[in-house]
């Protein structure tokens, strides 16, 4: 299969893929394990799709996130490595809390990557995940079963916290994690328009300034968080000042924290619900 990998690698490289050889090897490996009668034809078809711009996770049907293998499919944002920063920040907060059986909400759950990873790494955790679209809810439920956490993770559907109404979660949640859409509508119509070629608009469109969902969740998470519970957001580059201000203006959070990735870029903002 070395020749096939080289062929596919050359195709991907000609389309500007900077990780062409590694991706070619993954495509061929998946085609082999899929049991296709014609492995080479299957691999080439996958390579053509990747060369056309489809995310690699969609092409091969899976992605590893925080060490957990997940199903990836159209209809839900393909899990990104940068979102692991949010997941690990949430794990650190939960492990440092006094809760033996933490209760977590994954809001705007997408493929359920955060919900499943948190449940996987914290065997005593209970997680409620929610998203608006049929595509996200379908993929998230597939992942809950795939990871084997269906006894501890519930996937609901609705407009933000409306999907969790009637579950008696108010005042009991230790952490809300949220990777909301955070790209402004202006950027989605210009320099970031290519994102919409293969992945759902709902995963990216954060309103006029990229902060519409952050604004709502800062307020709507409060009834669900216990005193001292933490809300953690992923943010876009350069949004830390505005999101920090959202926490401060709510006048209900303390210990507001900015978390940077290894290159020094702030990509997570968190705050704890005030203890009266």
Predicted pLDDT at 99: 87
Query: Residue 56 pLDDT more than 60?
Result: yes
**Does the pLDDT of residue 253 top 90, yes or no?**
yes
pLDDT at 110 (0 to 100): 94
> Given a cut of 70, is residue 148 above it in pLDDT?
yes
pLDDT for the residue numbered 132: 93
Residue 231 bridge partners (DSSP): 176, 271
pLDDT at residue 33 tops 90: no
Domains of the chain, residue spans:
2-53, 81-273
- For the cut 60, the answer to whether the pLDDT of residue 171 exceeds it is yes
pLDDT tens digits for 257-275? 999 999 999 999 999 999 9
- Band of residue 202 on the pLDDT scale cut at 50, 70, 90: low
Round to whole Å and give the CA distance between 229 and 172: 9
Q: Whole-number mean pLDDT of the chain?
A: 89
Helix, strand, coil share of the chain (percent; to 5): 45, 20, 35
CB 113 within 8 A of CB 84: no
Instruction: Give percent above pLDDT 70 in the chain.
Output: 88
- Confidence band of 113 (pLDDT split at 50, 70, 90): very high
E strands, the chain, are: 62-65, 68-71, 103-107, 126-131, 153-157, 173-178, 225-234, 253-260, 266-273
Q: Is the confidence at residue 207, as pLDDT, over 70?
A: no
* Fold of the 81-273 domain: Rossmann fold (3.40.50)
Which residue has better confidence, 276 or 124?
124
The reported pLDDT for the residue numbered 18 is: 81
């Amino acid at each position: 299969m070395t020749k096939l990998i080289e062929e596919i690698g050359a195709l991907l490289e000609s389309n500007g893929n900077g990780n062409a050889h590694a991706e070619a090897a993954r495509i061929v490996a998946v085609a082999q394990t899929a049991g296709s009668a014609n492995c080479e034809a299957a691999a080439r078809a996958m390579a053509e799709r990747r060369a056309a711009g489809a995310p690699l996770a969609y092409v091969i049907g899976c992605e590893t996130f925080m060490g957990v293998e997940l199903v990836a499919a159209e209809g839900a944002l393909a899990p990104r490595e940068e979102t692991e920063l949010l997941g690990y920040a949430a794990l650190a907060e939960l492990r440092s809390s006094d809760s033996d059986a933490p209760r977590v909400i994954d809001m705007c759950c997408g493929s359920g990557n955060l919900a499943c990873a948190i449940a996987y790494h914290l065997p005593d955790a209970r997680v409620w995940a929610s998203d608006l679209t049929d595509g996200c809810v379908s993929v998230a439920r597939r992942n809950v079963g795939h990871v084997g956490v269906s006894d501890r993770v519930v996937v609901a559907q609705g407009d933000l916290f409306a999907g969790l109404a009637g579950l008696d979660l108010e005042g009991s949640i230790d952490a809300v994690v949220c990777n909301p859409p955070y790209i402004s509508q202006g950027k989605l119509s210009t320099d970031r328009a290519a994102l919409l070629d293969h992945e759902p608009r709902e995963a990216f469109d954060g309103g006029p300034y990229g902060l519409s969902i952050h604004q709502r969740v800062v307020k709507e998470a409060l009834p669900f968080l216990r005193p001292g519970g933490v809300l953690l957001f992923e943010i876009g580059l350069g949004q830390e000042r505005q999101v920090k201000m959202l926490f401060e203006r709510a006048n209900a959070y303390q210990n507001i924290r900015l978390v940077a990735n290894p290159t020094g870029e702030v990509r997570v903002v968190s705050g704890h619900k005030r203890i009266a």
